[in-house]
Amino acid sequence: MSDALYIEENTYTYADYLERDDGKRYELIDGTAYMMAAPSIDHQSISMKLSRLFGDFLDGKSCRVFAAPTDVRLFPQKNLGDKTVVQPDLLVVCDKTKLDKRSCNGAPDLVIEILSPSNDAEEMLRKFQKYLQAGVHEYWIIDLDNRVIQVHILDKGRYISSVYDGDAVVPVSILPGLSVDLSELWAVLE
């Protein structure tokens, strides 16, 4: 995570996280709280485009799409003692038993992170490892500056990675029949 957004070295749990009431967004990674910066207009434009695309495709189906801020407890504990809570930009959950009124409890089927200037390589590596460990089936990282999408597909305990750019069409492996045409996606940035 960006050093500018690092909060403090205390170890927090999900119960502690729920008590914060300062109007700011946080993520917990291994008990460390990180404040999240407000997203840019380009970030939100891409997020909204993908939300509509996924939402329309999933209408009437059992899987559901959610946009940030939605808490994802990757390793939930009954006593709210878990120490990793993330808020991906988009997530798809097909197992409704993972959802309660407040959060997704366990690995979503798909996670999409749209990079912001505050994201750094250390943060993205940390999240990559957490998503892999939790068993997220498909993990996308969208780099707006370079107009590139990295897609990581879980296979036998590791991610198989592909990179898409230009006007490529990105298949959504967990949702056969859905794909993202990058020429249409990047058009919202024009």
Residue-averaged pLDDT of the chain: 92
pLDDT in tens, 111-125: 999 998 777 788 889
Instruction: Compute how many other C-beta atoms are within 10 angstroms of the C-beta atom of residue 140.
Output: 21
Name the CATH topology of 39-187. Answer: tt1808, chain A (3.90.1570)
How far apart, in whole angstroms, are the C-alpha atoms of residue 121 and residue 171? 25
Q: How many CA atoms lie within 13 A of 29 on its CB side?
A: 21
- Is-contact 112 88, C-beta < 8 A? yes
Output the pLDDT for position 4: 35
Domain spans of the chain, in order of start: 39-187
